[in-house]
């Protein structure tokens, strides 16, 4: 008879442990579901942020490209103006140009000897 008392106590304990174990498994499953949802939301947010950054970078690139083209045109016009002024100066003052070129050549020769 004492065996049956212990047996009924064990079955009650095993039932309690089983209920506890079932509750823990349910909580774990709920946490897994929440974690999966959180992962999905983070992925969606990351994609959105990536697209936003990509769009901003593309707009910045286009703006930079436009500015560099404008700068290149300005440099070309400046070079053309300088070349035109140089030709006009040489035509107006040919002797002074030859003298300046000779002085420049002598200066280079002087520094090349040292």
Q: pLDDT tens, 81-110?
A: 999 999 999 999 999 999 999 999 999 999
Residue among 87, 86, 68 at smallest CA distance from 76: 68
Report field, pTM of the whole predicted structure over 0.75:
no
Residue 89 · residue 97 · CB < 8 Å: yes
Distance CA 41, CA 1 (A): 60
- Asked if residues 90 and 97 have their Cβ atoms less than 8 Å apart, the reply is yes
- In sequence order, what DSSP letters do the residues of 23-75 get, joined into one string? HHHHHHHHHHHHHHHHHHHHHHHHHHHHHHHHHHHHHHHHHHHHHHHHHHHHH
For the segment 49-78, the average pLDDT, to the nearest whole number, is: 90
Please give the structure tokens belonging to residue 27.
């909580």
Domain ranges of the chain: 20-113
24-37 residue pLDDT tens? 888 999 899 999 89
């Amino acid at each position: 008879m004492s065996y049956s008392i212990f047996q009924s106590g064990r079955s009650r304990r095993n039932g309690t442990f089983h209920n506890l174990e079932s509750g823990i498994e349910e909580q774990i499953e709920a946490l897994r579901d929440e974690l999966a949802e959180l992962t999905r939301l983070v992925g969606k947010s990351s994609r959105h942020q990536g697209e936003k950054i990509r769009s901003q970078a593309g707009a910045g690139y286009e703006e930079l490209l436009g500015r560099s083209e404008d700068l290149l045109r300005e440099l070309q016009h400046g070079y053309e103006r300088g070349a035109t002024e140089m030709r006009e100066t040489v035509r107006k003052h040919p002797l002074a140009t030859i003298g300046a070129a000779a002085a420049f050549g002598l200066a280079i020769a002087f520094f090349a000897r040292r």
